[in-house]
Amino acid sequence: MPDPADAIEAALSERFGETVAVDPGLPGLNELARLAAHRVHRRYTGRAVPDDLVRLLCACALSAPSKSDLQQADILIIRDRERLGAIADLMPEMPWLRDAPVFLVFLANGRRLPALAEARQKPFPNDHLDLFFNATVDAAIVLATFLRAAEAVGLGCCPISVIRDHAAAVSAMLALPPKVIPLAGMCVGWPAEPGGISPRLSLGTTLHEERFDDADVLAEVDAYDRRRHAARPYRQQRDPDRFGRAEFYGWSEDKARQYATPARADFGAFVRAKGFCLD
């Protein structure tokens, strides 16, 4: 069993391309080692994930912080293969979704608070952007906490944000009522392979002291492109018919190409149609 401080330093060096000092006397190093070595898993064994375990992990996730104790996040568990197959049909570029033993949908729920206000005969003057923002942030925190809980027991997960590309269809499939929207899905299963550590932008790019500073962002991203390319080069270039083939293809080129195509332009209309006011 590797020393947890050494494991953390190794994982963060691989992740950020720099040394992050770790005090070996810190409490909680085993948990920090899990966080530092986070991996996405897209291949799963045939081993079932017990219902009681899923319920336990959801309870741990829903124990996460909630804005003003408003509790605006829900989790919808999908085990039915036909229903999961119908969702997977919407996203054929993600075959691992169909193979997941369990699929969760994390929901932003702005429905309960207005209903409680009505039941308690109180006004509800807060039906504006903040209701939507608080619900989505709550749901995101619950998603991240579920990920940590699942990894602690040895499960592997893969968040599926692409579910929002098909928000209306998924909402109809799952009978989501007004003011309840899917934030993201999550494949959950026992990993069939270890998975790899994804390199991240340097801490100098994303960590700020006292004031925001991105004066050197292009040089920092270029350095990251080359570090990432050396460790995990892209196997193919995105949309070469439109943009040609780049001599050097890094993360920044891939992301620029990805967002050169409109995505989820109808999401705001979907959210409004679900009853959220975004003003």
- At 7, the amino acid letter reads A
Positive or negative torsion for Cα 206, 207, 209, 210: positive
Question: Model pTM?
Answer: 0.95
Does residue 269 register a pLDDT over 90?
Answer: yes
Which two tokens mark 246?
A: 């780049």
What does pLDDT average to over the chain? 96
Give per-residue pLDDT as tens, 179-205: 999 999 999 999 999 989 999 999 999
Three-state DSSP at 225 gives helix
Please, what is the end-to-end C-alpha distance for the chain in angstroms?
A: 53
Query: Domains in the chain, please, with CATH?
Result: 4-36 (no CATH), 51-195+265-273 (3.40.109.10), 203-258 (no CATH)
Give per-residue pLDDT as tens, 99-147: 999 999 999 999 999 999 999 999 999 999 999 999 999 999 999 999 9
- CA distance linking residue 268 with residue 272, whole number of Å: 6
- CA distance linking residue 256 with residue 42, whole number of Å: 25
Three-state DSSP at 22 gives coil
- CA distance linking residue 241 with residue 107, whole number of Å: 37
- CA distance linking residue 189 with residue 153, whole number of Å: 11
